[in-house]
Structure 1
Amino acid sequence: MVGDGAEGAAALLNPNWANLRQKLEARRHRKSTNPSRGGKGNPAVPALGKRKERPDPEPAATPSAPSVLEPTSEDFSLTEALAMDCEMVGVSTHGTKSALGRVTLVNTWGNVVYDEYVRPLEYVVDFREKISGIHPLNSRVAAKEFYDCSEKKVAEFIKGRVLVGHALNDLKVLLLSHPKKDTRDTAEYQPLLREGRRRSLKGLAFEILGVNIQQREHCPIEDARAAMLIYKRYKKEWESSIKKHAKFSKKLRNKHKNKSVYKQAAESNAPATS
């Protein structure tokens, strides 16, 4: 109280005292709010000594949504429909002829039911690693004999089932055939064509499924899953159109058959000509 009275009296006697007191209070306020000390631009030194500043910890990454290509079930059975994809290697003198290097089958749920590297019947000139993802070691160590894969496995698996895939001329390199009525080729299905021309599986997968595939090496598991999902998106309309086409073809065959019968009957009843 006495000190405050003395300061008040000094302020009355000397008008500069009040200004000086305000400046001192303002300086104390700046020091309390400013972390620097000892001069302009010199950072404050902590009591335990100078140390490196640590960045704030990054927030934990939120889990990404599962890819649509992930299997939707733990069912690994041989379902009514199977999707196939093959990867090719180059044979012949210049490696321009394609031969089977890997074959994969996935079921309706996207689970792999068969996946094997294959040792071609001819000498491999070009493994086409950047596209096929097949390396010489795969062929030497992991590959199965061609006929063991083609005739004994793949043919057995797809028999009596709907075969799904993109550009299913892969069957040719397998030396296999499959009934047209049981084949669902996403490269040939009319609604998926553009101006009557085939489209790539990569383009269809991006447009229809919203996923990017074949970014680097091709993965037959990924490609087979993409083909199966595209088929499932259009399955109702696709199967309906096949049934209509089968019904129309049957009707057409019966019509031609009846015409042939009538013609034969007419010819048999016609009078003999001399």
Structure 2
Amino acid sequence: MSAKLDKKKMSSEVKKNPKQLPLNPNWAQLQQKLKSIGSAKPPRHPRNQQSETPNSILGKRKERPTSESDDAKPNPLIPTNDDCSLTDVLAMDCEMVGVGQGNKSALGRVSLVNKWGNVVYDEFVRPVEWVVDFRTRISGIRPRDLRKAKDFRDVQEKVAELIKGRILVGHALHNDLKALLLTHPKNDIRDTSEYQPFLKEGRRKALKHLAAEILGVEIQSGEHCPIDDARAAMLLYQKNRKGWEKTVKDQKRLKEKQKKRKQRKKPKLDSNHAPTES
């Protein structure tokens, strides 16, 4: 009798407040799980995962240097200033073109730099004879370069004026002077192809090889640039200037002594032009 009364009482209470219905145990468990998932905050991802990772046993890994470090190495052929004034030492290099049957060389371009490597003269030259081979693969000279080029005579006079009374540096300068139809005092020539310390078993080395071995710079990898070649020759001279100039002075003194000895050995002539022993 009491059980029936309790059911009636419960049903009357449910009608008054329907929201308080008893929940199924499974549904209550699911609802509780959903609440816990919703309240839990998602894990925050670190901005820099590499900084969060633990170091290995060997410690933190060093970063490999980038290629920019190699590119940052200065090129020794680039002048350190912009002074283009004439100095007591000039370096010269020429590029040739083919004339006649093509196997004859003629001046196509001449470049001179001062002791700092700054250009003091750089001109394309129109040869006297007709050009049949521009030798572009090596000379870098093209037909358009010679259309407004200066006449050979004008260039010849200007170069002669610039190098007069100055030390002239270059590689195989006899070829350049021959193309210019010029001469220069031997005591004022510093030829990197003939300098004894640069020779290998008495053989001359190419300027390209000297620049790579001594200066650590690459030149003449394609078309030749007379400015770069002149700069390379000048830098080779500057690096060895002290010893080079000492060698030149010693050779000059030796020649003077030999000349005096020859003059002493010459027999004197008497009034009748007969040789007499001194």
TM (norm. structure 1) is 0.73
Which residue matches 2:26?
A: none
Match among 85, 93, 100 for residue 77 of structure 1: 85
**Residue 241 of structure 1: aligned partner:** 247
1:53-72 alpha-carbon deviations (Å, 9 max, x no partner)? xxxxxx99567232100112
What does residue 258 of structure 2 align with? 252
Structure 2: which 5+ residue stretches go unaligned?
1-28, 46-65
The 5 Å alignment of 1:5-16 reads: none
1:192 match: 198
The CA distance in 1 between the partners of 2:230 and 2:111, in whole Å, is 7
Percent of matched pairs sharing the same residue: 57
Instruction: Report what 2:136 is aligned to.
Output: 129
- How big is the alpha-carbon RMSD for the aligned residues of Structure 1 and Structure 2? 2.8
Distance 1:122 1:269, change over 3 A: closer
Aligned to 1:155: 160
CA displacement 1:73-104 (0-9 Å, x = unmatched): 222111000000000111112x1111100000
Deviation, 1:216, is: 1.2
User: Between Structure 1 and Structure 2, how many residues are aligned?
Assistant: 219
Counterpart CA distance in 2 for 1:171 and 1:179 is 11
CA distance in 1, matches of 2:203, 2:84: 35
Q: Distance in 2 between matches of 1:67 and 1:113?
A: 20
Q: 1:269: how far off?
A: 4.7
After superposition, the C-alpha distances for 1:153-203 in whole angstroms (9 at most, x for unaligned) are 000000000000000021001000001000000001111111111100000
In 1, distance between residues paired with 2:177 and 2:107? Answer: 10
Inter-partner Cα distance in structure 2 for 1:268 and 1:194: 49
The aligned counterpart of 2:221 is: 215
Of the candidates 69, 93, 103, which is equivalent to residue 96 of structure 1? Answer: 103
Distance 1:172 1:253 in 2: 29
Give the distance between the partners of 1:67 and 1:96, measured in 2 at CA. Answer: 35
- Select which of 235, 238, 255 maps to 1:229: 235
Q: Secondary structure at the match of 2:212?
A: helix
Q: What secondary structure sits across from 1:163 in the alignment? A: strand
Q: Secondary structure at the match of 1:211?
A: coil
The corresponding residue for 2:17 is none
Q: Which SS does the other structure have where 1:88 is aligned?
A: strand
Q: Which runs of 5+ in 1 are unaligned?
A: 1-16, 35-58
> Deviation string for 1:235-271 (max 9, x for gaps)?
111110110111011011101101114x557x6457x
Query: 2 CA distance for matches of 1:175 and 1:217?
Result: 25
Q: For residue 211 of structure 2, what is the aligned residue in structure 1? A: 205
Larger radius of gyration: 2
Give the TM-score of the pair, scaled to structure 2.
0.72
Which of 54, 64, 68 aligns to 2:72? It is 64
- Name the amino acid aligned to 2:114: N
2:184 matches 1:171: no
